Structure 1
Amino acid sequence: MNTVALAVTDGMLHFELSVAHEVFGSAPDDVTVPWYDLAVCGSDAVRFGRFRLEPDDGLDRLPRSGTVIVPGWADVDEEPPAGLVDAVRAAHEAGARVASLCTGAFVLAAAGLLDGRRATTHWAHTRALADRYPRVEVDPDVLYVDNGSVLTSAGKAAAMDLCLHLVRLDHGSAVANAVARRLVVPPHRDGGQAQFVTTPVPAPGNHPLAALLPWALERLDQPLTVEDLARQAGMSSRHLGRHFRAVTGTTPLQWLLTQRIRRAQELLETTDAGVDTIAAATGMGTATTLRRHFNRTVGVPPDTYRRTFSAHPAEP
């Protein structure tokens, strides 16, 4: 998976292209794992906006890549270029992991990679994607969808979320967090969060939950409830739920679970604590509960995650 190809063509959206190049192009200074071999691949020089880009290689490199990223492109009313569609399909058939950013989902759909699969794109284009490709299960309400070998993201900031998710899958949360710190972005937003929240995500310290969220993060080892959070925030549970939806795009309990899983990942990567100890430290109670939630959220059991992303053996 360390070979990443950015599949480009005329009309690509430069923000999504730049996001992928920033994430996969170079490792943070404090990261020592082997980084990605990134190539920008296109059939010829491409134009996007006022920019002109000379690709590193042709589209025939895509099937020889571990991961293929298809950035968004501007004119979704037109069919994607046939050469690009064929190359993306060939890459997937050769075993590559294929991910689209924003409206790049239209390329994956044209290649048939989304047939029978759940997928997303920018919320403004989800209806068009569903109408044009009825075999695709379009979900307009999420940041990104991970189907294993095929991944799709919503627009703009969600493209960054998906790229960091790929780094997290390949190298673990500590490395993904280091990339996020370098880019000064949030280290993790779960793919199931809503694309569109009732108010823009405010700056730290400038929203009703500014004091509550750090307070909760310091107490993840405790069995916090919605009532506990509402009491600390000085508001009703219903009022708290509305604020959580507006600020985080999810519910208080789902936010808490996500933070507990994230803490568990960090402990699995950076300590030799056993699963029972980590379950207690993250407020999960028992190893059985932690394993159930971790496996459902991350996709692998805690022990497998540790063997993949940490040199620390589990304590006896």
Structure 2
Amino acid sequence: MEEKVDEKEVQSCELDTLDSIEYNKPDSSYNISFNDLDHAIFSATSNVEFPKDRNLIKKAEDYRNLGNESFKRGFIELAIEYYTKAITTYPKNHEFFTNRAVCYKRKGDWLKVEADVRQALNLEENSVKAHYFLGQALLNLGKRVEGLKKLRKAKCLSEHYKTVHTEEINNEILRSMMKLYLEEEERLNYAVVSLSSFVKELLERENNQGALSEEEYSERTKQVEMINNYVKKTQEREIPKYLCCKISMCLMRDPVITPSGQTYERELIEKHIMSNGSFDPVTRKPCKLSDLYPNYYLKEAVESFLEKNPWAYDEYYT
């Protein structure tokens, strides 16, 4: 039997890592004029609320808060019911749709996630959450190109609105790219092995039938091996050392440079200075926290390398 949520105990809460990242900005500029016996002609440019809607908005927010509390306690189906009531009561708030989408996401119902966040985007086209969840939904539904496009849109908006979740979205993009890369690599390997086996069998058959001279057979066999070796070489994975932190040996996420010209992962060099003293761990020269400066050039180089070599995400510092 499901536990009832006490409305008196309801407190607003964050539903998911990205569920509270909507940027609180004014609504897009617009003007509304209407003739109504109950209202004066009304014109506004931001945050318009009609008096007759206020009770509905309040009621919908109450349902949303109940949904939040239900989700927090793990009652996903109950949370969906409350968010649905909020949407039915006041369907103009895009956050109600993204709230419900989080529940469907937790259940793995990606079709419903997609439907809800598309509704949210119809109401607020710059919702970071909606673009992020839509990207995840599309990827899980096999729509890879569009899914990555939406994730990149979410990252762009997150950077524009300066939310704290840009890194999380970027990680999702890199994970998705790595997964797609490895899947494509597996298909390529299978195709190369299958084709190589077929050609070898064909050469063997023609050689046994006397259709090929020994010299030609030997040359063709070598060519097949050369192709196999070339494919293997193109799949060799090597990360340039200059992109890696000298402490962790991982790809740097937030590289900073010391006065002596050494670059480290910020978190690790800061820990070193605070634990071991104010000196560069490689050169042993003096180095204080205030001496560390972002190495933007190297950060761009790491991002460019990951874009071209998605497999390297596993070597990213976490």
TM normalised by structure 1 equals 0.28
Higher percent of residues as helix: 2
With CA pairs under 8 Å and 6+ residues apart, which has the higher RCO, 1 or 2? 1
Bigger Cα Rg: 2
TM normalised by structure 2 equals 0.28
